[in-house]
């Protein structure tokens, strides 16, 4: 898919995209820290300097990779939301889609979170922040659809908890698999989905909409 042959000096069709794809390849086979600009360039079959014509620096490349991930996840969410089924079914599918995305593209998922949470604690990439926010808003919407009695604040609060659950399940699932040979990943994913459902369904203490 990557590293197509090319006469020296010839222009590349769409190197920007090819570099992101190469980064995904490198990432798929790596621990997060092993993702280096040079490894990505190597994988794309291009010199180490070439990426600088498309990205300001390594962080910008990783931000683009992260954005790519949020877009893929967002697309998946939109498919589910615009598909068939009632609100509870859609929430279940969204939860499952999130966890399985993170499990299947683990390093990519970690890059997404790392780009989202730089050292300072504030975002630097507006597009990335917007994509993350959109994704979160869709979760809030899915929960509100399941439980219309919730105020917006309540739906947001529950979405934060649901997000924590799904996010934490990525690492815990890996730990579970390592800690115990008979760890049941599918059962665990199911438990997570059920917990999110219960969380959403629970009536508000004050009846909501104050």
Partner DNA sequence: TGTACATCAGTGAACGCGCGTTCACTGATGTAC
Q: Which residues are near a copy of itself by CB under 8 A?
A: 31, 33, 113, 116-117, 119, 121-123, 129, 132-133, 136, 157-158, 160-161, 163-169, 171-179, 187-188, 191-192, 195, 198-199, 202
Helix, coil or strand: residue 86: coil
Selection from a copy of itself, DNA, none that 57 binds (CB < 5 to 8 A by kind) is DNA
Q: What is the 3-state secondary structure (H, E, C) of 110-177?
A: HHHHHHHCCCCCCCCCHHHHHHHHHHHHHHHHHHHHHCCCCCHHHHHHHHHHHHHHHHHHHHHHHHHH
Closest CA to 202 of 136, 149, 140: 149
Using CB under 7 A as the binding rule, whether residue 12 contacts DNA is answered as yes
Using CB under 7 A as the binding rule, whether residue 53 contacts DNA is answered as yes
- For the chain, the maximum distance between any two Cα atoms, rounded to a whole number of angstroms, is 69
User: Is the distance from CB of 164 to CB of 134 less than 8 angstroms?
Assistant: no
Segment near DNA (CB under 7 A); pick from 39-47, 113-121, 165-173, 200-208: 39-47
CB of residue 163 to a copy of itself, shortest distance in Å = 5
Using CB under 7 A as the binding rule, whether residue 29 contacts DNA is answered as no
**Which positions lie near DNA, rule CB under 7 A?**
7-12, 15, 36-39, 46-50, 52-54, 57-59
């Amino acid at each position: 898919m990557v590293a197509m042959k090319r006469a020296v000096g010839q222009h590349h069709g769409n190197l920007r995209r090819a570099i992101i794809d190469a980064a995904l390849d490198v990432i798929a086979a790596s621990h997060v820290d092993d993702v280096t600009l040079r490894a990505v360039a190597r994988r794309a079959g291009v010199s180490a300097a070439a990426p600088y014509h498309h990205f300001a620096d390594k962080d910008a490349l990783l931000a683009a990779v992260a954005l790519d991930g949020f877009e893929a996840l967002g697309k998946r969410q939109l498919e589910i939301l615009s598909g068939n089924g009632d609100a509870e079914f859609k929430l279940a599918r969204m939860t499952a889609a999130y966890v399985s995305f993170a499990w299947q593209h683990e390093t990519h998922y970690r890059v997404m979170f790392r780009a989202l949470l730089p050292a300072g604690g504030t975002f630097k990439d507006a597009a990335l922040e917007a994509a993350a926010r959109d994704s979160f808003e869709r979760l809030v919407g899915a929960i509100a659809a399941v439980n219309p009695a919730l105020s917006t604040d309540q739906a947001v609060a529950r979405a934060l908890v649901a997000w924590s659950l799904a996010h934490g399940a990525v690492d815990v699932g890996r730990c579970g698999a390592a800690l115990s040979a008979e760890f049941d990943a599918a059962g665990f994913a199911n438990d997570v989905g059920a917990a999110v459902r219960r969380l959403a369904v629970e009536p508000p203490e004050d009846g909501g909409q104050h």
